[in-house]
Amino acid sequence: MRRIVLALVGSLVALALAAPSHASLNPCSAAKKKCVAKKASALLKCHFKDEKPPGLTPAALATCLQKAQDKFDGGANPAKGCFAKLEAKFPGQCLTINDTSLLEGKVDAFVASVVCALDPGSIFCPIPTPTPTCPAAPPPTPTPTSTPTGCQSNGSFCSVGSQCCSLICMGGMCQTPTCTDGVKNGNETGVDCGGGTCPQCPVGQGCLAASDCVINSICQAGQCSCAPGRSDCNGLPSDGCEINVTNDPSNCSACGNVCVLPNATESCVASQCMVGSCDPGFANCNGMTADGCEVNTTSDNSNCGFCGLVCPGVQNCIGSICQ
């Protein structure tokens, strides 16, 4: 939890340092930043108290957090909240208005997200849904590559391949192994591949080491497989597992899974579709990925020009400007 203290204090210090640059131009917004810092600090103290032995009971911790919220949100009388009082103190001077509940909720969410990021075991953090695991598939049965007992050498007469040391009988004679005979023989680890003398094996063929397998694949349980984060999307043996599904927006987490988000340039980060950048005139104000950049900041009275800028009074947002 001491890491949480350092993380939040760093954020609050940065916020406090940012306030003076706008204080002379907009004392309301500068004061609102102080409300944010004080409320976050008060919530943090409750979590820190819970870390001191013997700790707080869940009920006591909840009570402490509620008191901290009431002190800055006004409790039963919202008009006495820190943000609400500033709007009353600076009528018509705040950059944004009627956003008290939004600001209060964002501070609560900010503290909770940092606490859960550094202390996932907190009772206030959601319990992650376990990923079901499937039993490991049994390793493939290797094809025998040993020389048949009592086999015939190359050039000897034969009727079937099993009579030959090379396992190849063509034209009634045992033939020398090649990388194109369609039989796993000689030094090959797969059919016509691997072993250092034939081309590297594609995904699904046998192997003894990673060098037996094509690029971007590994040797696992005697079989060439795609390396973690890679997939063979075009099915061509020559380029192996050619796609990195952890960062390809056209194949994000799986082949063919294209990231499509409204009003945004998509990106794929750690196999998850994300908003890379918003189209001009749009913004991702709710922070959610699923609906992309959902707000048109050129005409939205609650997000005029950028997220959170509410046009005062009867003004409307036209061309990203309140007028």
Query: Could you tell me the pLDDT band of residue 285, with boundaries at 50, 70 and 90?
Result: very high
pLDDT tens by residue, 59-73: 777 788 788 878 777
Instruction: Specify whether the CB–CB gap between 157 and 175 falls below 8 A.
Output: no
Higher-pLDDT residue of 189 and 21 is 189
User: What is the distance between the alpha carbons of residues 107 and 102, in angstroms, rounded to a whole number?
Assistant: 9
pLDDT at residue 24 tops 50: no
**Burial letters 112-135, b for 16+ CB under 10 A, else e:** bebbeebbeeeeeeeeeeeeeeee
Q: Residue 93 — left, alpha, or beta (φ > 0 → left; ψ -120 to 50 → alpha)? A: alpha
Residue 272 near residue 60 (C-beta atoms within 8 A): no
**Residue 141 in this model has a pLDDT that exceeds 50:** no
Where residue 270 falls among pLDDT bands split at 50, 70, 90? very high
Spell out the residues 6+ positions from residue 114 whose beta carbon is closer than 8 angstroms to its own. Answer: 4, 7, 8, 11
Mean predicted lDDT score pLDDT of the chain: 80
In whole angstroms, what is the distance from residue 283 CA to residue 295 CA? 5
Give the span between the Cα atoms of 137 and 135, in whole angstroms: 6
pLDDT tens track for 229-246: 999 999 887 788 999 999
Q: Is 15 exposed, middle or buried (CB count within 10 Å of its CB: 0-12, 13-18, 19+)? A: middle
Give the Cα separation of 9 and 82 in Å (integer): 20
- Please check the confidence at residue 93 and state whether its pLDDT lies above 60: yes
**pLDDT computed for residue 138 by the predictor:** 57
226 and 234 Cβ atoms separated by less than 8 Å: no
Q: What is the pTM of this model?
A: 0.42
Tokens standing for residue 276: 């890379």
